[in-house]
Chains A and B, each alone.
Chain A
Amino acid sequence: MPLKTGERDRCATGLEGLDTILYGGIPRSNTVLLTGSCGTGKTSLALEFLIHGAQKGENSLFVSVTENSEKLLANIIPYKFFDKSLIKSGRLVFVDLPIMYERLGMTKAELSMEEIDLLVAAISDLVTELGTKRLVIDSITSVCYKLKTSEKIRDFILKLGKSLSDLNCTTILVGEVSAESTSYSSFGVEEAIADGIVLMANMERRGDLLRTLQVIKMRGTMHSRAKYVLDLTPMGVLLVPLLKGGSTA
């Protein structure tokens, strides 16, 4: 049974292992950076977070930045618990950010400060309209490429985080880093302003490529900082503690 710390309402991710690590879930209205190199399972984990939320009746929104969301849906892991009616009923909504860029006339390579405010407002408006309680932006790194400077990235994430937090929305920002990176984020700024960081990685062990997950930081709760091995299965994400002894890794 997950321990309740009592002070803050939790947004249970529905991923059993992760909720255990977080003593019950992500403190509600936190903005969490879910970061890792490619193929580490970030999008799958984020999707599962939304699906579990939608099933519990929390409106969930997936904002796709790089991939067309229809394509993404076609490639979705055939989760046993995934039910297409969640999309029909509007509990789970997919939106392509590039369309929002187009609507707002943000076709230039770099956004101005004014446009950042507009983008934050547009996302917040959408969250208000849909009554979204769980939001995923995949990936925040792609948005950052349109912001260019660290001042703008800082400004964007701070304002977005504040606005979503006021709307009581729990947010996962998916970040991409290269496998060799020592930083948790591509621009080095995102990690400093997020309320939490969950790091996903690949690890080679005895010829196997393992996926790992580690909660680096999470404001508002105690959490384990241990590295877990993650397995993507049709039943969802499975997490087991990484055995430290006996291996050559």
Chain B
Amino acid sequence: MNFTSIGIPALDEQLGGGIQKGSTVLVMGTPGSGTEFFAKQFASAGQEAVTYFTSTERDEDVLGVMREYGWRTDLKIVNVGTKYYESVLAKKLEVSRFRQEGITLGDIRRFRNEDSAKEENFLTFLSYEISKLAPPFRVVINSLDFFLENYESPEVLMAMRTIKAHTQHSESVTLMTMLKGVHDSRIQSSIEDLADVILELEHDKQGSEFKKFIIVQKVRNRPVMVGIIPTTFDKTGIKLG
């Protein structure tokens, strides 16, 4: 079988050698459950070139964690969050200034086409960036929530299907994170449906401490792998048992 690592060696073992090349992995959890951290550990593994799309963190936050755990830092970070700020939020700020203070002839004269207030479609941007990657690649999308908040569900689903197909075809791997229970159940089910592997991170308060688990919810064509695995965190990252 043609496997690649998910980032946690013990979990690879549990999964019978890792995840199959060509897989799309969905990691879900409630806020604070460690999905972002999992995404970074995933990025640290494998032989593939890593592209890390983030909508919530600064580049140095991602690299800081990678360094702290002694993981690879040669990943390409595409910061959708910064791009979103620059092209949408900054323009919104500018628009509010014009609305408040009015426009002068100079403001009109200085206008260039790239000042257009029309928003760039970040979903298209994401698909396009992934389509350009040379296989085999390892992609992290942290998180789907950004796209689900800003675009219509069918659009997001279509983009994810495209990305999944491209991942499959090029024998690469893609991991996406998504908050659990915040999106409507139809879109959540559709995304779960297209993922080849679904992991759910959970923590449970037992007495005075949290018990953490990885729930292996789905492994395509290998239902026997499904199960609940207790986990701990230490200075090397996520560990099983």
Chain A positions near chain B (C-beta within 8 angstroms): 93, 95-96, 99-100, 102-105, 107, 118, 121-122, 125-126, 129-130
Contact = CB atoms under 8 A, between A and B. Distances in A.
Contacts of B98: 103-105, 122
Contact of B92 (A95, A105, A118, A125): A105
A104 B103 contact: yes
A95 B110 CA distance: 12
B108 A105 contact: no
B104 interface: yes
Among B91, B99, B104, the most chain A Cβ lie within 10 Å of the Cβ of B99
Given A103-B108, A105-B92, A105-B95, A125 B103 contact: yes
Contacts of A125: 102-104
Contacts of B118: 107
Interface of B: 91-92, 95-96, 98-99, 102-105, 107-108, 111, 115-118
A107 B117 contact: yes
Contacts, number: 49
Given A107-B117, A107-B118, A102 B103 contact: no
A103 B104 contact: no
Contacts of B95: 103-105
Contacts of B104: 125-126, 129
Given A95-B108, A96-B108, A103 B116 contact: no
Contact of B108 (A100, A107, A118, A121): A100
B65 to A, nearest CB: 37
5 contacts: A99-B111, A100-B108, A103-B115, A105-B98, A126-B105
Contacts of A107: 116-118
Contact of B117 (A105, A121, A129): A105
A122 B116 CA distance: 18
A118 to B, nearest CB: 6
B86 to A, nearest CB: 16
Given A103-B98, A104-B99, A105-B92, A95 B105 contact: yes
A102 B95 CA distance: 8
A116 to B, nearest CB: 12
Contacts of B99: 104-105, 118
B111 A102 contact: yes
Nearest to A99: B111
Given A95-B108, A96-B108, A102 B115 contact: yes
Among A95, A105, A118, A126, the most chain B Cβ lie within 10 Å of the Cβ of A105
A160 B102 CA distance: 15
Among B92, B95, B115, the most chain A Cβ lie within 10 Å of the Cβ of B95
A71 to B, nearest CB: 15
Contact of A102 (B92, B105, B117): B117
B120 to A, nearest CB: 13
A130 B111 contact: no
B169 to A, nearest CB: 37
A96 B116 CA distance: 14
A99 B115 CA distance: 10
A232 B102 CA distance: 38
A122 B92 contact: no
A104 B118 CA distance: 12
A99 B117 contact: no
Among A93, A103, A126, the most chain B Cβ lie within 10 Å of the Cβ of A103
- 10 nearest A-B residue pairs (beta carbon): A105-B95, A125-B102, A99-B111, A103-B98, A105-B117, A107-B117, A102-B117, A103-B103, A99-B108, A122-B103
Contact of A121 (B102, B105, B107, B116): B102
